[in-house]
Structure 1
Amino acid sequence: MRKLSMLMASLVLAGCSVTPEYQAPQAPEQAFYLHQAQADTTQSPQAQWWQRYNDPELNALVAAVQQQNIPLQVAQVRIESARAYRTAVATTRIPTISVGAGYQHYRLSEYDPLAGGALTATMPDLGQPGAGQPLNLLDRDNGAFVVGANISWELDLAGRLKGMNTLAGIRLEQAEILRQGTLNMVTMDAIHNYLQYRGAQARIAIAERNVAEQQATLDQVRSLVASGYGSSLDQAQAEALLAATRATLPMLHSAEQAHLHRLATLLGEEITTTGQRFSTRALPDIQGQVPVGLKSELLKRRPDIALAEREMAALNEEVGIAIAARYPKVYLTGSPMTLAENFGDLFRSGSDAWLASAGVQWTLFDGGRGQALVEMQEARFQQAALSYQQQVNQAFNEVETALMAYGNQQTHREQVEQAASHARTAASKARALYRAGLVDYLAVLDAQRQVNLMEDAELVARLSSAEHLLYLNKALGGDWTVPTS
């Protein structure tokens, strides 16, 4: 009686759901970043923040990468697959109708335990003529034409099918979030390699300029040595400095080509085609405060956090599906048809036939397997909740670290620029004193070596500043999609 009562109670649940109620986690509204010296919390991060570099070639590169990148195309195909799967799952909640037509023929066995006797029956001896003759109660060979339909439908008693449909929709959302995350990472990779490519070009230009200047100085020293006014030590020092500067060029050219090859890979094209995209331009530069918005907004911008939250929602539906699987399943089927031995009689009055049924399937005993599956899904949900919290903590720490590093890099850059300015001033004075005969050429070489080092360090500081801005915007998340015209 208890089982019967449970069955009747479950039948009342038609159209209901046993899935636990789910609410997405919320971030504290009054949370602030610790390192806000270089942050503007009054404005949210810009969607296409790299346009602040004011570099048309960079903007064109990002747009091309987002159109041509192969992993992005794969991510888009995954979205289409998830969308098709959601449509397929949604159809389980509506009746399935199929139609068919054909001819069937069958022969009965004379030794069939049920029908065989009717085939071989004879007229009993009742004192009437024909005793012992076959009765032909059934024909051994039979055939018929049939045209009909089959209709089947499962009543969604506890919301199992609804949960599967909701789950498929969440998986589609996750596929879209994954594509957004892939787009951001690909865009970041493109900007990083572009900055490094421009940085290598700028360092090459500095090195080549220094080589030219040092070659001119060496020629001057050689002339002085030849005339007896110079020192062989001065000449050796000048030659050593020139050789050291030239030695940096092969490695810088290698770096330039390596980043160009990486850009070609991101674009999915030949490197010769990629090389034609760029002219000689200065290293992009941005300074000043960065729009970061409020800390609570981070949960809505970061694709990894959004993906973790959707995983929680998906596993909550898995819990509901596991619970609903323990309730009875009710099926309705119907098969209207017309059937006749002769094709001409197929659509005549009286040829109609039908079959209808209703069935219940309910697992009364499974040794605790159903409850174990529910507990397993609940444990997976708890794991997803912890993973979500870990992802949120990591995201906040990434932004804090990026803000601190960006601020420190700005200070470092200012100090390097001051040092480079002082080095140039010192080199100018050393050359003037040397021409006046007040210092030896060693002082000039040392001053020039410092200029070379500081000019390269100044460029590296600018490049590092641009990279820190890139990583800060990556930590802040957001939609980096370039609208297609």
Structure 2
Amino acid sequence: MNLRTLRDWFGVVGMLGLVAGCTVGPNFVEPDSHLPEKSFFGDDGRLVGTAHLPAPTDPTWWNVFRDPVLTGLEQRVADANLDVRTATLRLAESRFQRGVAAAAEFPSLNADDKYTREQYSKNGIVSLLSGLLGPSAGGGVAPGPINEYYSGFDASWEIDLWGRIRRQVESADAQVDQAADQRRDALVSSLAELARDYMQLRGVQTQIRIANDNLKVDRDILQLVQDRQQHGLQNGLDVENAAAQVENIRAQIPQLQQQESEYINALSLLLDQPPGTLKSELGSILMTRTGPPRIPLGIPSELARRRPDIRAAEDQLHAATANIGVAVGDFYPKVQLNGTVGFDSLDIKHLYDASSLQYMVGPQVTLPIFAGGRLRSTLALREAQQQEAAITYRKTVLQAWHDVVNALVAHHLEQIRRTRLRAQADHARAALGLARARYTDGVTEFLTVLDAERTLLQADQQYATSTTNVSLDLVQLFKALGGGWETRFPDVPSETAAVPIPVGMVDSAIQ
């Protein structure tokens, strides 16, 4: 190849590079979330309860419960939870896929060294040479076995004139972002699930404590009735009713203990621990607060940036939009530069002589003419997938909005209900005291004491359940707001550490 030929080729490549600046297909535009600016209940500024806007959600929102055990458990989720670790591996997979897509932007180079020994058939195509060599050649003509040596390399490079490959890389980048947001969504969900299981565990333990406290009261009443019977002041019916009430409460405790064990095991599973591992750590009940009197909600319109599921839906829409560009690019000609340079010789001693040099270089243009409608159907498919992704994004935003409003309303109304249940429990406790006093004085029947006792037990249980629900609603609210933006995650496997690479592979050295 002389100097003029090289100059011509560089000129062609330069002009193709100028043409390659265009990119077919639609450009991605961030969708409008249509979320309100001032209030989740509309831009009239109306809020529920004591919620306010100034600050965004605290990443470590579980600290509002002021429970050191809960805080310690939450701090272990990012490293230990199996769902988060699985999402981390999927993020690594998407990054490797992006590397595969980006490799198409660069030339590919392959080395080729080979040796062959070949014997041609006398009755094969070489027999035609006998007519050219004349009668003196005798019968079939064929050379003896020959050795052929070859050493060289070949290269190819698709020039991305229309931006088809760039759209593929853009789609892969969006899929990497989607995997990262899905990992964050897995973490947010795991943090919230752990808090819910923890609150329900503490709620069950509170129910066990209430049952034991009421059991003690019922035993005292049973002893009182038995004493009155021994003194001839009461018949056996009251003793049996009191004893039945004691056994009724005792029968509730095993079921509550079963629920306690299940919640402890659920928390152990979230932290990648065998069943029962956290039993000693979670055995004691700590008094927890239901949260601050004022809940920081942040600006509603920023919810689309805080909720990882919304961000993942946007990334999916971005990838679907870029895939349209890939489909459009398939309609245009593909220009590929191919080249082969090597040395070929029948004698290895002369393999690398200048006379053994051979090469081939030139462009290859592929223009689709007829594909049976495959290209048009692919483009229509990509456009339909983009429309589906847009609907998914809209639904995800709307669902997030509903989640926040529902959690706000539930938390506010459950607080009102809890206050009234507390008043009911206080009245029921006072009523039981009066009933016991009147029964001791012989003014009222034991049935009145028994009814008061059952009413108090039910009121205490309902109040404890409501207290748990207030905490659960608050956890749900923080999850709906996208809380839990941790910056610490399990390590993403590197490209070199993911799969062992055999020694001696040229491609590994190039990468």
Aligned to 2:40: 33
Q: CA deviation at 1:367?
A: 4.2
Inter-partner Cα distance in structure 1 for 2:222 and 2:366: 96
Aligned to 2:469: 464
8 Å CA contact 1:119, 1:140 repeated in 2: no
1:420 equivalent among 400, 425, 431: 425
Q: CA deviation at 1:245?
A: 1.7
Residue 340 of structure 1 aligns to which amino acid in structure 2? Answer: S
3-state DSSP of counterpart to 2:278 = helix
Aligned to 1:236: 240
Aligned to 1:91: 103
3-state DSSP of counterpart to 2:331 = coil
3-state DSSP of counterpart to 2:148 = strand
Inter-partner Cα distance in structure 2 for 1:330 and 1:468: 60
Q: CA deviation at 1:255?
A: 1.3
TM-superposition CA deviations, 1:391-439 (whole Å, max 9, x none): 2112111211111111100100111111112222222333344444444
1:292 equivalent among 288, 293, 297: 297
Residue 284 of structure 1 aligns to which amino acid in structure 2? Answer: T
- Which range is displaced more, 301-310 or 33-42? 33-42
2:270 equivalent among 266, 269, 282: 266
Structure 2: tracts of 5 or more residues without a match? 1-14, 42-46, 491-511
The answer to whether 1:121 aligns with 2:132 is: yes
- Which range is displaced more, 272-281 or 376-385? 272-281
TM-superposition CA deviations, 1:248-268 (whole Å, max 9, x none): 212211211221222232233
Inter-partner Cα distance in structure 2 for 1:33 and 1:431: 51
TM-superposition CA deviations, 1:138-194 (whole Å, max 9, x none): 956543322111111111121111111111121122222222222222222221111
Residue 246 of structure 2 aligns to which amino acid in structure 1? Answer: L
3-state DSSP of counterpart to 2:311 = helix
Inter-partner Cα distance in structure 2 for 1:432 and 1:482: 61
Aligned to 1:276: 280
Q: CA deviation at 1:342?
A: 2.0
2:393 equivalent among 372, 375, 388: 388
TM-superposition CA deviations, 1:231-252 (whole Å, max 9, x none): 4443233223222222221221
- Which range is displaced more, 381-390 or 368-377? 368-377
TM-score between the two structures when normalised by the length of structure 1: 0.89
Residue 369 of structure 1 aligns to which amino acid in structure 2? Answer: R
Inter-partner Cα distance in structure 2 for 1:431 and 1:24: 70
1:46 equivalent among 58, 65, 78: 58
Residue 476 of structure 1 aligns to which amino acid in structure 2? Answer: L
Inter-partner Cα distance in structure 2 for 1:54 and 1:482: 22
3-state DSSP of counterpart to 1:412 = helix
Inter-partner Cα distance in structure 2 for 1:122 and 1:339: 27
Inter-partner Cα distance in structure 2 for 1:440 and 1:108: 119
Note closer, same or farther for the CA distance 1:37–1:441 as it changes in structure 2 (3 Å cut): same
Inter-partner Cα distance in structure 2 for 1:204 and 1:478: 32
The answer to whether 1:157 aligns with 2:164 is: no
Inter-partner Cα distance in structure 2 for 1:435 and 1:401: 50
Inter-partner Cα distance in structure 1 for 2:356 and 2:229: 122
Residue 409 of structure 1 aligns to which amino acid in structure 2? Answer: E
Residue 18 of structure 1 aligns to which amino acid in structure 2? Answer: V
TM-superposition CA deviations, 1:435-469 (whole Å, max 9, x none): 44444443333333222221111111100111111
8 Å CA contact 1:39, 1:292 repeated in 2: yes
2:213 equivalent among 205, 209, 212: 209
Q: What is the Cα-based RMSD across aligned positions, in Å?
A: 2.7
Structure 1: tracts of 5 or more residues without a match? 1-8, 125-131
- Which range is displaced more, 91-100 or 270-279? 270-279
Inter-partner Cα distance in structure 2 for 1:189 and 1:458: 23
8 Å CA contact 1:110, 1:120 repeated in 2: no
Q: CA deviation at 1:322?
A: 0.4
8 Å CA contact 2:33, 2:394 repeated in 1: no
The answer to whether 1:187 aligns with 2:214 is: no
The answer to whether 1:17 aligns with 2:28 is: no
Inter-partner Cα distance in structure 2 for 1:236 and 1:336: 104
- Which range is displaced more, 173-182 or 348-357? 348-357
8 Å CA contact 1:119, 1:139 repeated in 2: no
% same residue = 28
Aligned to 1:79: 91
The answer to whether 1:169 aligns with 2:169 is: no
Aligned to 1:328: 333
Note closer, same or farther for the CA distance 1:258–1:309 as it changes in structure 2 (3 Å cut): same
Residue 252 of structure 2 aligns to which amino acid in structure 1? Answer: T
TM-superposition CA deviations, 1:294-319 (whole Å, max 9, x none): 11011111222112111111110111
Q: How many residues align?
A: 469
